[in-house]
Structure 1
Amino acid sequence: MSAPAGDAAAVLVVGAGPAGVMAALRAAQLGARTTLITSGAFGGMAANDGPVPVRTLAHAARLLREARQLGRYGVAVSEAALDYPRLLVRVREVVGEVAAASTLRPQIDAAGVVVHERAGAVRFVGPDAVVTAAGDRYQAARIILATGGVSRRLPIPGFELTATHSDAWSLTAVPASMLVVGAGATGAQVASVFNAFGTKVQLFQAGERILPTEEPEVSAAVAAAFRASGIEVHEGFGAIEAFEKTADGVRMLYAKDGVRGAAEAALVVSCVGWSADTAALDLAAAGVEVDGRGFVRVDAHQRTSAPQVFAAGDVTGGLMLVGPALQAGFVAATNAVRGPVETMAPDICPVGSFTDPEYAQVGLGEARAREQYDAEVVRVEVGASTRAVIDGRTVGFCKLIVDRPTRRILGCHLVGDRAVDVAQIAAVAIAGGLRVDDLARMPLSFPTYGGVLGRAAATAAHRLNQGAAAPQLWAGEHS
């Protein structure tokens, strides 16, 4: 079950989510004899419990919303009804199809990586060896940790009565009512999806606004849209004191400034953040240190405090997204095999969520951009985009942030249909150092949702070029 001790060509990867899979593939491609162990199924949370099933449910929610528009477009059908058990069958089908074709499994097998799935808990028994729950021992000169994260638990009486997002996705029926505690990306998605399914949803955020990592106007726009759709949004509600069982579900007790309140529902879903999945690893046995939040500490090369151990993905506490996890896995494996030759690329990572409406961002926010640059900020409403009008999806905006002297694009923030897709265009423009004038002149297909970005670029270029020798650009060019 192990490579020879001290074998410099042996790499062991623990965890088969995006970071672990990429690390294993990269190590094998560089010539290392590579073994991949995972406690669960290949693909990790991303394929089995995260973006893939979530996006499938979000697609079903979109179909329900679109079905409600059919009469507006002259299409007469009976009212759409959700068959939730059948939807769950489709979710499992999608997860299976992704696992077979889209999680790099074919490439992993072709590269000769030895894969051990459902190995159970894995723990260190030294700086270069681990054992599984079944007693199997694996040893390698380099070990890469990619065990991911788990839902954070709160030390609150009755917290065991709450569910996680994983429990929400695996329900056998749509609950009549739901409290969602925590309104970051995960909580917002849970609330949005089940609201579309017909659940009466109350969304609670202890901070002053939902989606606290987004621009303030993004938070405000999404909160307004949620409320308009029937979600009860409670921002700055105070502190939770306890959860207690009721005849029909769970009650949450909370207080703010000495004033107590209560809310109850058939189900309470806690979405209060993530912790590193390291409880079973016995990191001390390998000399691996964690930071103040409990995540594995790594340097710029993804190396931990133990020279032979690297880490990548959610377990390190960085951006907990598939894209950065893939990149970190690549960097960790490269350095594990070749030495410290790679670091993570500049922080240009589009972030978004499949809520209704969608929201997305890439690059700098307005406040930080104004601190560091002479920033020009342009906001264009989605309702000005032809495609949005055609589809009847006119809620939202595109905010573009540009450096005046260089005309470089610094950031883009969006709310509206297909915002996540549009953000990818902005990400490529930022990564390529594209000037806003060049983006404004780019002949994007018409009519598409990307047009709102082109319109924002044209508006910014027009403002910046007023009084200059450069030709003027009109915002209407990308309508």
Structure 2
Amino acid sequence: MSQYDVDLFVIGAGSGGVRAARIASGYGARVAVAEEYRIGGTCVIRGCVPKKLLVYASRFPDGFEDSAGFGWSFPAEPTFSWAALIAAKDKEIARLSGLYEQNLAKAGVAIHRQRAVVAGPNAVRLADGTEITAERILVAAGGGPTVGDFPGAELAISSNEAFDLAELPEKIVIAGGGYIAIEFAGVFAGLGSQVTLVHRGEKLLRGFDEDLRDEVKAGLEKRGVIVRLNERIASIAAGEGGSKRVSLASGETLDADQAMLAIGRAPHVGGLGLEAAGVRLNEKGAVEVDAFSQTSAPSIYAVGDVTDRMNLTPVAIREGHAFADTVYGGRPTTVDLSNVPTAVFATPELGTVGLTEAEAREKGEVDIYKTRFRSMKATLSGRDEKVLMKLVVDAATTKVLGVHIVGEDAAEMIQVAGIAVKMGATKADFDATVALHPSAAEELVTLRQKWTG
């Protein structure tokens, strides 16, 4: 009989922790999991899933407007209810959280609905004081929004609170230049808010291909978002009736109903007892792990955003599964983080996989294939919106190193293109693929002329 209460104790019931718990249990391990908030984690509860639902909602006004070009008319102007949208979102999130809990229960995983901290290399302590011993501990506590360090920062909301606002703000100032800031700027603008996006950098979306960065900024501005680059919030003061007075570093003052900070995310490691248990953290405060997600304490592992490797939900799921396969399935497995497709759900949305043009040029000579065109839908709707597609190709081997898209359904296209890039497809492979007509995606296999601009 084991000297421990459980074989595996998982701290955090988000996507990575739930997957690891279920797979480990399937291999015969005795597993317990603790979650202090709601089962499902950031992605399901207050991240990518509710965000995508709000993105869908924000695009309906465009659809109503576009429909006139296709012969549709409405007896009255469509009306929108923020309260109805949030209620529908909450209902769906509750359903998904329930499914996560059911799947854990079906797998035989014991669930503790309270905070857990590491009490030693082989023990955790629950909020009620109960100590549970475990042969191994998996930390999957995720991350959370970074807080501001300027006067009045506590008056701003984060992406967490944005999902549960009592009403849609007429005016909102959003600080940040990453995907969260950009997505919420598009959501609020699409639903009718006046949005000002403040970013301290020279361009939005650091680390993305330059053409994508320019295209997304242009798309935001077409939706009415005021983009202020090389700027930052200096302070926030409370105004009348709950309003905010946002002072910028340039000296300008903006009056708004809400101010939102989307200036980064940090791993949830505070107060978890990791360092006392011998777990090393890196200079950013993230848990250091090896290729198999093992920390410097041999009995403690970590997956997902708490490790700050690649903070994407599917990556956390892969890491959790790989951990269980390695430790309990007898199949040592690592996660390849190269050529991971990702999307920014702006409007129009961005999809990208592989190397940017700048990254590829650092490695050698490249050929660029690029097109920017009006979609068939826009010909009748009259919407001033273009689709951008770009292939980055190794000049010597003709291997496709990167695919970059901005336009409607870019995320759907990039998921499929990601398969080709992951397999090492060449430009000749793309060229040999018969186009599916009429579609926007066909441009990916009909690009013939190298870009010389």
Shorter-chain TM-score range: over 0.9
Retained in 2: the 8 A contact 1:387–1:447? Answer: no
**Could you tell me the TM-score, scaled by structure 1's length?**
0.88
Structure 1 CA distance for aligned equivalents of residues 378 and 289 of structure 2: 44
Matched, 1:167 2:161: yes
Per-residue deviation, 1:375: 1.3
CA–CA separation in structure 2 for the residues paired with 1:42 and 1:396: 38
CA distances 1:312-335 after superposition (whole Å, capped 9, x unpaired): 000011221111111111222333
CA deviations on 1:181-201 (whole Å, 9 max, x unpaired) are: 012100001110000111100
1:95 equivalent in structure 2: 93
Deviations 1:435-460 (A, max 9, x none): 2222232235332332232233x556
Change (3 A) 1:60 1:373: same
Equivalent-residue separation in structure 2 for 1:273 and 1:146 (angstroms): 19
1:221-275 deviation line (CA, Å, top 9, x unaligned): 11112112211000111x43322112251122232xxx52322311000001001
TM-score using structure 2 length: 0.93
- Mapped to 2, the partners of 1:145 and 1:311 lie a distance apart of 4
SS of equivalent residue, structure 2 residue 252: strand
Alignment CA distance shift 1:344-1:390 (3 Å): farther
- 1:11 correspondence with 2:8: yes
> What value does the CA root-mean-square deviation take over the aligned residues?
2.1
| Contact 2:69/2:380, CA 8 A, preserved across alignment | no
Question: Which stretch of the first structure deviates more once superposed, 365-374 or 415-424?
Answer: 365-374
1:96 shift after superposition: 2.8
When structure 1 is superposed on structure 2, of 209-218 and 171-180 the one drifting more is 209-218
Using a 3 Å threshold, how does the CA distance of structure 1 residues 60 and 364 change in structure 2: closer, same or farther? same
Task: Note the C-alpha offset of 1:163.
Answer: 0.5
Q: Could you tell me which residue of structure 1 aligns to residue 285 of structure 2?
A: 294
> In 2, Cα distance between the equivalents of 1:143 and 1:57?
36
Equivalent of 1:225 in 219, 234, 250: 219
CA shift digits 1:408-456 (9 cap, x unpaired): 2100111111111111122100111222222232235332332232233
Map residues 190-205 of structure 1 onto 2, 5 A cutoff.
Answer: 190-205=184-199
Separation of aligned partners in 2, 1:447 and 1:140: 57
Pairing of 1:9-408 with structure 2 (within 5 A): 10-77=7-74, 78-101=76-99, 103=100, 107-116=103-112, 118-119=113-114, 121-237=115-231, 239-248=232-241, 249-255=243-249, 259-337=250-328, 341-383=332-374, 385-386=375-376, 389=379, 394-408=385-399
- Stretch deviating more after TM superposition (70-79 or 301-310): 70-79
Q: Which 10-residue stretch deviates more, 442-451 or 367-376?
A: 442-451
Distance 1:268 1:252 in 2: 8
**What secondary structure does 1:396 align onto?**
strand
Name the CA distance, whole Å, in 2 between partners of 1:459 and 1:27.
51
CA contact (8 A) 1:19 1:312 kept: yes
How far apart are the structure 1 equivalents of 2:326 and 2:263? Answer: 34
| 3-state SS in 2 of match to 1:310 | strand
Secondary structure (helix, strand or coil) at the match of 2:28 reads coil
**Comparing 158-167 and 431-440, the one that deviates more:** 431-440
Structure-2 separation of matches of 1:426 and 1:443: 14
Contact 1:310 1:336 in 2 (8 A): no
Q: Which amino acid is 2:83 matched to?
A: P
Deviating more after overlay: 64-73 vs 288-297: 64-73
Aligned counterparts of 2:382 and 2:110: Cα–Cα separation in 1:
50
Asked whether the 8 Å contact 1:28–1:112 carries over to 2, the reply is yes
Number of aligned positions between the proteins:
448
Distance between the aligned counterparts of 1:244 and 1:166, measured in 2?
21
Aligned equivalents of 1:391, 1:141: Cα separation in 2: 61
Percent of pairs with identical residues:
29
Distance 2:382 2:97 in 1: 35
Contact 1:365–1:411 (Cα < 8 Å) also in 2: yes
Shift of 1:146: 0.5
The superposition leaves residues 320-354 of structure 1 with CA deviations (integer Å, 9 ceiling, x where unpaired) of 11111111112223333367922221412111121
8 Å Cα contact 2:66-2:381 kept in structure 1: no
- Counterpart of 2:386 in 1: which secondary structure? coil
Q: Hey, what's the Cα distance between the residues in 2 that align with 1:151 and 1:207?
A: 19
The one-letter code of the counterpart of 1:163 is I
Instruction: Give me the whole-angstrom Cα distance separating, in 1, the residues matched to 2:120 and 2:382.
Output: 60
Gapped regions of structure 1 (runs ≥ 5): 464-479
Q: For 2:180 and 2:169, locate their aligned partners in 1 and report how far apart those are by CA, in whole Å.
A: 18
- d(CA) in 2 for partners of 1:387 and 1:64? 15
8 A contact 2:198–2:233 mirrored in 1: no
Letter in 2 for 1:92: D
Letter in 2 for 1:37: A
Q: Which residue of 2 aligns with 1:473?
A: none
Runs (5+) with no aligned partner, structure 2: none
